[in-house]
Amino acid sequence: MSIINDVLKAVLDLAASAPGVYVQQIGIGALPPDNGICAQISTGTGSPFLDLGAAYQFSMVLNGKHRNQQTVSDALNNIHQILTQTAQLPSGDGYQITAIETTQTPSYLGREQNAQHLYGSGLRVKFYFKKG
C-alpha cells in the first residue's frame, strides 16, 4: 500500500473509534445504499526537503447517511472532534501525521428517496514522509 493510502487508512481507523459511529469500518469511495460513512481524498500537495523527507497534505471529504438524521449528524461531528482534538496523532512506517483540521463542518446535504439523510464534511490531513 502507498504511504498516502496508509495515512488515509490510519485517519479512518481513528475516526471509526469516535463515539456514535454506527459502522464497523468507514469505507473509501461511494456510500453504501443504507446507513454508511465513507471518505475520499479530493486534492493534495507536497513539499520535498533536502533530507529527502517531505511535508504533504491532502484534503478529504467525509460523508455519511442514515435513516435517522440525528444519528448521522452526531457521528460526523464526533468524528471531526476526535480527529482534530486527539493528542496522539497516528504514525507508521514512513509517515507521521502532524495535524488534522476541519475545512468544512458536517452539514446537511439532503434526503434520498429511501429516507436516508445525507451529510457531508471536509478535512485536511497534514503529514510528513519520513526519510526512507
Q: Is the pTM of this model over 0.95?
A: no
Q: Which domain holds residue 78?
A: 3-129
**Total domains present in the chain:** 1
Q: Which helix H or strand E contains 130, and what residues bound it?
A: none
Mean pLDDT, the chain, rounded, equals: 94
Cβ atoms of residues 97 and 91 within 8 Å: yes
| Domain CATH for 72 | 3.30.2000.30
Of the two residues 28 and 50, the one the predictor is more confident about is: 28
Nearest residue to 129 via CA among 66, 69, 40, 46:
46
Provide the 8-state DSSP code for 89: -
In 29-84, beta strands by DSSP E: 36-48, 54-66
61 has a pLDDT exceeding 70: yes
